[in-house]
Amino acid sequence: MKERLEQTDWAKAAVHAMEIHRILTEKLVPEAARAHFRRAEQEALLGVHSWLDSKIEQIGREDERRASPRETPLKSIPIEDE
């Protein structure tokens, strides 16, 4: 139970820290700079999105290659019984 309370305390502290960060940012960082930072964050997220899309496509192509029939047919090898 104590561990759960500590996690809750940490969560509350994190919420308060985020609120303090928001207030300080609004007071100290000019609006034009905040707009630039917001667009930069968006561009970074779009970059990650693009990278994930390419990885997902790559995995799909690899799966298709594995599922498609082999280019060279398998050769039967006779097994001799003793």
CB 25 within 8 A of CB 34: yes
Longest dimension (CA), the chain: 88
User: What are the boundaries of each domain within the chain?
Assistant: 2-53
Backbone φ, ψ for residue 74 (5° rounding): -70, 145
**pLDDT tens by residue, the chain, 82 residues:** 556 667 788 899 999 999 999 999 999 999 999 999 999 999 999 999 999 999 999 999 998 888 777 667 778 888 888 6
CA distance 49 to 66: 26
Q: The pTM is what?
A: 0.53
